[in-house]
Amino acid sequence: MRLKILFFFFFLGSLVTQGQITGAYQPAYDFKQIDSIAKVGQSNTNGMLIDPSLIRDRLTKLENEIPLNYNFVTHQFVEIFAFRKASFTKKMLERKDVYFPLYEKYLKKYGLPDELKYLSLIESGLENKAKSNKGAGGLWQFMPYTARDGFGLRVDQYIDERYDAELATDAACRYLKQLYTTFGDWHLALAAYNTGPGNLKRAIRKCGASDFWGIYACLPKETRAYVPQFIAMTYMMNYHWDHSIQPENWVIDIPKDSIMVSGYLNLSILTKLTGFSLDTLKKLNPHILSHFLPKNTQNIKLHIPKSKFDYFSQNRVKILDSARYDAKGKVQELEDDSDSTEVDEEEEFDASPSYTSKRFSYKVRSGENLTRVAKKLGLTVSALKKTNRIKGSKLRKGQILYYYKSVSTKSSYRKSSSKRSKQSSRRKHSKKKKSSKKKSKSKKRRKRR
């Protein structure tokens, strides 16, 4: 144990000396943070499983526009991804070919370093539907307000374009370019992407330095690990073979073609008439959260399996008209609506063929949770929680949940008018009966007289 401690201080001293020679500032290492996220089984006398000089030399060869500094922190993360998290590294190798061509296309378009494609691995693990506990979503983990206000992405209960790989990648590239223009340093730009420009500026003022390693101690814990993780993942994606990590089950994207759609569209009918399942459409279109597109849809990209696209193109007008006609002809019902009741059923609307949101209620069954109910109703959990002002995640049996669906105002008008006509016909019929009874009584009285 004493040998390990002596070696560590000797190693740290060499880094400080190197920093003094090159003029680079080395961080005041947060050992608690390193121990919590980078604890690796130590089998060698020096406590390291990979030769430090090997990693340092390879990072030097890989370095392009973004500095790939070698130090104790980056070494620890390399060992994490090589040993403890080898399964994660393997999964990234199996998924990368689905997204890397798209990343490379947009990085080139905006003149950004190609190695930024590795950042998404740290952000989302190349999981398009990834969502953090803070609400960030998609491959590039945008917060809803940043996506909407900063980059014009649509984020609501029906469509969330943070989950559209192409739109999200385009927005991420614009954001990274904006951050680099602001801070003039790639490590600072990456840190700002993680913690926000405001937090980064406060860390710069607090520490009085202008580089990532200089403000390391003033950053949030998560952000301290962010840049070292990026460097370590860049290393592993290029030298995984030397650490016995290789992909086995390559993830293959479903070949697809795209169309732009606007207005109401019932996706269940569209998929049925085109000849593929709604589940397949949801896999191809993770940005579409419901089983229909609402009336305010404007130029939303809809992906269709390539194997079905020729048939769809030949019958496009017929298929789209059928999907839209269904909305005009009748209100869409749930597959299992035994506990679903319509609220404000007597509400009157104009007979014009437009649509409106209508409130429905749902009675919670035993054993159901928010996720299950949201999926059943074709909504997102966040939308259901927001509508019902639910803070936690638990539901109780018999609880009434309210939600909104887009329905045709014309059909509602017909429904109410038909009810009125039935009621009026009943009244007329009852009046006739009463009048006939009165006449028969009067006739009987006359005969007696």
C-alpha 415/C-alpha 336 separation (Å) is 21
C-alpha 68/C-alpha 359 separation (Å) is 55
Among candidate residues 79, 123, 161, 368, the one labeled active-site is 123
C-alpha 62/C-alpha 233 separation (Å) is 12
Residues 132, 76 share a domain? yes
Closest to 382 measured CA to CA, from 391, 66, 17: 391
Q: Is the pTM of this model over 0.75?
A: no
How high is the pLDDT of residue 436? 53
User: Is 423 a member of any domain?
Assistant: no
93, amino acid identity? L
User: Is 218 a member of any domain?
Assistant: yes
CATH number of the domain enclosing 352: 3.10.350.10
C-alpha 90/C-alpha 233 separation (Å) is 11
Task: Point out the domain boundary residue: 304, 329, 354.
Answer: 329
Residues 265, 237 share a domain? no
User: Is 420 a member of any domain?
Assistant: no
Domain of residue 319, residue span: 256-329
Residues 204, 164 share a domain? yes
- Tell me which DSSP letter residue 159 carries: B
Q: Distance between terminal CA atoms of the chain?
A: 127
Task: Point out the domain boundary residue: 329, 357, 382.
Answer: 329
Residues 404, 297 share a domain? no
**Distance (Å) of CA 106 to CA 172, 177, 252, 255:** 9, 12, 21, 20
Q: What are phi and psi of 39, to 5 degrees?
A: -80, 115
248 is catalytic: no
C-alpha 380/C-alpha 64 separation (Å) is 42
**CB burial string 169-190: b at 16+ within 10 A, e below:** bbbbbbbbbbbbeebebbbbbb
Q: Under a CB-based contact definition with an 8 Å cutoff, are residues 361 and 343 in contact?
A: yes
Residues 190, 154 share a domain? yes
Residues 222, 135 share a domain? yes
CATH number of the domain enclosing 216: 1.10.530.10
User: Is 445 a member of any domain?
Assistant: no
Residues 216, 274 share a domain? no
User: Is 168 a member of any domain?
Assistant: yes
C-alpha 316/C-alpha 309 separation (Å) is 9
Tally of domains in the chain:
3
User: Is 431 a member of any domain?
Assistant: no
Residues 134, 15 share a domain? yes
- Print the SS3 string covering 308-355: HHHHHHHCHHHHHHHHHHHHHHCCCCCCCCCCEEECCCCCCCCCCCCE
User: Is 165 a member of any domain?
Assistant: yes
User: Is 435 a member of any domain?
Assistant: no
Radius of gyration of the chain (CA): 31
Q: What is the pLDDT along the chain (449 residues), one digit of tens a residue?
A: 444 444 444 444 433 333 322 222 233 333 343 333 333 333 343 578 999 999 999 999 999 999 999 999 999 999 999 999 999 999 999 999 999 999 999 999 999 999 999 999 999 999 999 998 889 999 999 999 999 999 999 999 999 999 999 999 999 999 999 999 999 999 999 999 999 999 999 999 999 999 999 999 999 999 999 999 999 999 999 999 999 999 999 998 889 999 999 999 999 999 999 999 999 999 999 999 999 999 889 899 999 999 999 999 999 999 998 998 744 444 333 334 333 333 333 333 333 334 445 678 888 888 888 888 887 887 777 778 877 878 777 888 888 888 776 555 444 334 444 444 455 555 555 555 555 555 554 544 444 44
How high is the pLDDT of residue 324? 87
C-alpha 211/C-alpha 222 separation (Å) is 17
C-alpha 401/C-alpha 243 separation (Å) is 52
Closest to 175 measured CA to CA, from 202, 205, 152, 155: 152
Here the tokens at position 257 are 């073609």
118, amino acid identity? Y
C-alpha 358/C-alpha 407 separation (Å) is 7
Residues 164, 71 share a domain? yes
Task: Please list the alpha-helical segments (H only) found in 49-164.
Answer: 52-62, 72-79, 86-109, 119-124, 144-145, 151
How high is the pLDDT of residue 358? 66
C-alpha 275/C-alpha 293 separation (Å) is 19
How high is the pLDDT of residue 344? 33
Residues 345, 306 share a domain? no
Q: Under a CB-based contact definition with an 8 Å cutoff, are residues 67 and 110 in contact?
A: no
C-alpha 309/C-alpha 331 separation (Å) is 28
Give strand ranges (E) for 141-242: none
Residues 272, 237 share a domain? no
Task: Point out the domain boundary residue: 243, 273, 299.
Answer: 243
Residues 189, 94 share a domain? yes
Closest to 145 measured CA to CA, from 162, 127, 121: 162
